[in-house]
């Protein structure tokens, strides 16, 4: 649960909006910024990072998520995603986030920082594939 001192949706959105300026998107020219709030209270930002080999591109949400995981954070309250037109997180990012919690709140905002939609990973990815779908392992 988010407590009273947790950053507001607008704080998360403003951070993603600022971070978005650092997006590396020379091919699509579609700049994305994300800010992921960990249960520790720490916020991890991310931008999309494109490549001349197009499929190597990483989305802003996964950059933020992988930064967080690599720093030891495993549980999250919310993520904000800012694009010019308030675009929705892609399917790959939905699945990547689902691994760490279907209840993560997702704030989708436009380039001005206006909240377009507040939703959850669960709502964005119904019937998500998860660890429980895999056969039991003998470790």
- Residues lying near ligand THU in the complex (CB under 6 A) are found at 25, 28, 30, 32, 48, 50, 57, 59-61, 87, 89-90, 93
Least CB distance to ligand THU at residue 138 (A): 37
Catalytic: which of 18, 50, 61, 117?
61
Kindly state the DSSP code that residue 81 receives in the 8-state scheme. Answer: E
Least CB distance to ligand THU at residue 36 (A): 13
User: Facing residues of 82 across strands?
Assistant: 33, 109
Cβ-contact 97, 119 below 8 angstroms: no
Cβ-contact 121, 101 below 8 angstroms: yes
In whole angstroms, give the CA distance from residue 110 to residue 117. 10
Active site residue 50: no
If the CB atoms of residues 40 and 86 are measured against ligand THU, the closer one turns out to be 86
Which residues are annotated as catalytic? Answer: 61
């Amino acid at each position: 649960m988010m407590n009273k001192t947790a950053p507001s949706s607008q704080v998360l959105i403003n951070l993603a909006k600022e971070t978005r300026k650092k997006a590396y998107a020379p091919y699509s020219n579609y700049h994305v910024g994300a800010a992921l709030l960990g249960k520790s209270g720490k916020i991890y930002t991310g931008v999309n990072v494109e490549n001349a080999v197009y499929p190597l591109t990483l989305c802003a949400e996964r950059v933020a998520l992988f930064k967080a995981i690599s720093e030891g954070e495993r549980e999250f309250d919310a993520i904000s995603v800012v694009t010019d037109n308030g675009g929705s997180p892609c399917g790959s990012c939905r699945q990547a986030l689902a691994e760490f919690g279907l209840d993560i709140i997702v704030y989708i905002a436009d380039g001005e920082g206006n909240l377009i939609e507040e939703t959850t990973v669960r709502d964005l990815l119904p019937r998500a594939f998860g660890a429980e779908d895999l056969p039991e392992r003998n470790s």
